[in-house]
Amino acid sequence: MEFHRKQRQVSFLDSADGFTKKELLFEVRTDPLTAHRSRILSYRRRILPEIKIASEILEASKAGCPFCSGQILSSTPKFIPSFAPEGKMSRGRAVLFPNSFPYALHNWVAVFSGDHFLSLDRFPVEILRDGFLIARDGIVRLTKMDPRMKYASINWNYLPQAGGGLFHPHLQVVVEEGPTVSHGEVLEGLKRYQIENTSTYWQDYLSEEMKRGERYIGHYGDVHFVSAFSPRGILGEVDILFRDHMNIEELEEENWLHFFEGLSKIFHYLQEKHILSFNLSLFFGGKDDCSSWVYGRLCPRMTLPPWNTSDINYFEKLHGEVICVVLPEELCKELRPLFSN
């Protein structure tokens, strides 16, 4: 398995240092499965200042929030009776209902609880469990009713910096008969690897990362966490692998709890580093001729000081390459101690 990287060195006369010659190094990395490319500019990493969301912003965001306890039953859509006669599905404090602005054949929202805002240190296992498992319940119900709906994802945009439209914590579920582009690229890569190597990519990849020890963070039960070699975010990416679990129906509650345990460690890290938000996706489904483990990706997100500039620019949006300021091996070193127990 080849982890291809190319080092580049750029020279210029630095105006900040009397126009003396300055040399900077960066790396171009290619993902061994999908050929996704990242440019690692570790010289641009900075210690982020502590940022707090102003109380007046949070208070103003409550006005008319459709997900708050007093509004969610009357201000959010209901499922059609043939799918959910109860209108909305619920589990504990979590509620699942259709997205008012759908962008997939089946696109739902899972609200964790009635709490309008939860900081990263205020997501107990019970809240995470109710939110993710009600999303799971909906996917399982749909796939039993319509086996053509083979491809699903559970997604989380936490806070506006990550594209969250509301402060109120919620997940989005997407289920269709075909994979999204990213999911499809992974499945095509898995199939290609299986044909060329007569072995399973996820198993070989995980074994290789564990053997190298450069980016393997740790695991809880069958759920493994790896710092991605070619990350998809400016602050790196954590890959999540549910070892030997091929679909959402196979995941026991214990597997979910192990996932939440790792997630809570990552939340602790983000808060310690003054990183407020993230994107998370879990992917389910595979092709008939090539199955896949359940896997996920978590990318921390930020806005760039001092003008709150987006961390996505033309390289990501139009060229399909990611600018990352965190060396994946360093991200692993920083996260691994949290998983050491």
> Residue ranges per domain, the chain?
57-341
Q: Model-level pTM?
A: 0.96
CA 70 to chain centre: 30
The mean pLDDT of 106-113, rounded to a whole number, is 98
The mean pLDDT of 326-332, rounded to a whole number, is 98
The pLDDT of residue 162: 95
Tens digits of per-residue pLDDT, 193-251?
A: 999 998 999 999 999 999 999 999 999 999 999 999 999 999 999 999 999 999 999 99
3-state secondary structure of 151: strand
CA 242 to chain centre: 14
Handedness of CA 214, 291, 254, 278 (dihedral sign): positive
Q: How far apart are CA 36 and CA 249, in angstroms?
A: 29
Q: How far apart are CA 65 and CA 215, in angstroms?
A: 40
Give 223's contacts (C-beta < 8 A, 6+ positions apart): 240, 241, 242, 243, 255, 258, 259, 262
CB 66 within 8 A of CB 76: yes
Q: Mean pLDDT of all residues in the chain? A: 95
Model confidence band, residue 288 (pLDDT cutoffs 50, 70, 90)? confident
Beta strands in the chain, from DSSP E residues, in sequence order: 4-14, 20-30, 37-40, 89-91, 94-98, 106-111, 151-158, 170-176, 216-220, 223-227, 238-242, 277-284, 294-301, 303-304, 309-310, 321-324
Is 46 a residue whose pLDDT tops 90?
A: no
The mean pLDDT of 143-168, rounded to a whole number, is 96
Q: How far apart are CA 25 and CA 2, in angstroms?
A: 22
The pLDDT of residue 289: 76
The pLDDT of residue 308: 86
The mean pLDDT of 103-115, rounded to a whole number, is 97
In 10 A of CB 273, how many CB atoms? Answer: 16
Which of 60, 24, 65 is CA-nearest to residue 45?
A: 24
Burial readout 199-215 (b: 16 or more C-beta within 10 A, e: otherwise): ebbbeebbeebeeeeeb
Give 102's contacts (C-beta < 8 A, 6+ positions apart): none
Alpha helix (H) ranges present in the chain?
55-62, 72-75, 125-145, 181-197, 201-212, 253-272, 314-319, 328-339
Q: How far apart are CA 195 and CA 189, in angstroms?
A: 10
The pLDDT of residue 339: 95
- CATH fold for the domain made of 57-341: HIT family, subunit A (3.30.428)
The pLDDT of residue 139: 98
Tokens 């990552």, residue located:
266
What percentage of the chain exceeds 90 in pLDDT? 91
Of 116 and 51, more confident: 116
In this structure, of 37-46, 134-143, 281-290, the range with the lowest mean pLDDT score is: 281-290
Structure tokens at 141: 């119900």
Structure tokens at 284: 């389910």
Model confidence band, residue 305 (pLDDT cutoffs 50, 70, 90)? confident
Model confidence band, residue 290 (pLDDT cutoffs 50, 70, 90)? confident
The pLDDT of residue 147: 94
Q: How far apart are CA 164 and CA 184, in angstroms?
A: 24
The mean pLDDT of 55-65, rounded to a whole number, is 92
Of 286 and 233, more confident: 233
Which of 47, 88, 74, 40 is CA-nearest to residue 302?
A: 47
The pLDDT of residue 31: 98
The pLDDT of residue 341: 65
Q: How far apart are CA 291 and CA 70, in angstroms?
A: 43
Cα dist from 27 to 42, 85, 236, 261, whole Å: 9, 54, 14, 32
Phi, psi of 107 (to 5 degrees): -135, 110
- What is the chain's length? 341
